Structure 1
């Protein structure tokens, strides 16, 4: 599993112009089975996505995020091996 950490590179008014296409892109990531959870950072400096799949595929997918294509954000990838979860979240293992 990977933590995809999105960081904004420009002021929020510039980011906000791309929110709708970004949300459509996020929905596609869920539909394709890559994304498990997502949300904004607080304070609003970016976002986080919990994702699964081969790193190369996730890198290619995030390269198509409208935020990245517009140059308003970038991603960092952190690989994690989940060894324990709360009840109901066992699907995060493996």
Structure 2
């Protein structure tokens, strides 16, 4: 499982201009079963994504296709971890 943080490298106006293409890309990752949750950070300085189901190299290849990344609008930080304990009902996330 991965916790991915996005940090904006540009002002929010530039982010908002690219948001429709980014959301289309995000939706495709959900359709492929890779993303589990996503949303903006508070305060709005970037975003957070939870992902699973692919090896890290494939995840990184997918991240490189994000329009935010292709336009150099964000920096990604990827942390891989093993979910040993989960809330009841989320057992499918456990390694």
Q: TM-score range by the shorter chain?
A: over 0.9
Are 2:86 and 1:82 equivalent residues in the alignment? no
Aligned length: 94
Looking at structure 1, the residues matched to 93 and 47 of structure 2 have their Cα atoms a distance apart, in angstroms, of 19
Looking at structure 1, the residues matched to 78 and 23 of structure 2 have their Cα atoms a distance apart, in angstroms, of 19
Looking at structure 1, the residues matched to 67 and 83 of structure 2 have their Cα atoms a distance apart, in angstroms, of 29
Counterpart for residue 18 of structure 2: 18
Report the secondary structure of 1:76's partner residue: strand
Structure 1 position 81, deviation (Å): 0.6
Report the secondary structure of 2:39's partner residue: strand
List gaps (5 residues or longer) in structure 1: none
Q: What is the alpha-carbon root mean square deviation over aligned residues? A: 0.7
Report the secondary structure of 2:26's partner residue: helix
Counterpart for residue 67 of structure 1: 68
TM-score (norm 1): 0.96
Structure 1 position 92, deviation (Å): 1.2
Are 2:47 and 1:47 equivalent residues in the alignment? yes
Large movers: runs of 4+ above 4 Å = none
TM-score (norm 2): 0.95
